[in-house]
Chain A
């Protein structure tokens, strides 16, 4: 979501970089989820930051489905332990989101599956690779943008 905010968007544009979001949900479910993400998360985040949400905010983002997890595995993204996924840090995060009124929905996919962030450079090699220790461990957006080359 941070990558959709204007400073990050400008940096992506300056590097003519593509933003590709991969999910292990089925394609139809992912297709249905994108408008929810726009309305429930992006619109709220922009409002909190007192920013105008451009109608084409997602125009430069492509969403791909990998329900077989083949690509996740190719990048080394396996499953977390239950302790990490449901540890105190994560439960606190969910409590904070609940207080903020963020919509919390029933999880349909494997909650233990890890995510990750990568940057592929112009030469086809990775210039950034990160998978969090748990769901709350996300890389700073500046670190991702610094790897654009």
Chain B
């Protein structure tokens, strides 16, 4: 699986000033989070592996 990741093209970090990429994800509280409908500003923290 890791080798598969490495074969992917290099990603470009989303930049300040750009439209935030929209997404819909399930949340631990049983709801679905849709960035487009979240109140803003929003702080997004993408975690590394869980401690």
**A contact residues vs B (CB 8 Å cutoff):** 3, 12, 15-25, 27, 29-31, 33-34, 37, 40-41, 62-66, 70-79, 103-105, 107-129, 131, 135, 144, 147-149
Contacts and interface: CB of A to CB of B under 8 A. Distances in A.
Given A37-B51, A64-B26, A120-B41, A78 B46 contact: no
B35 to A, nearest CB: 7
| Main SS class of interface, A | mixed
B43 A65 contact: no
| Main SS class of interface, B | loop
Given A64-B33, A118-B14, A120-B40, A75 B50 contact: no
Contacts of B39: 16-18
Contact of A119 (B11, B38, B41, B50): B41
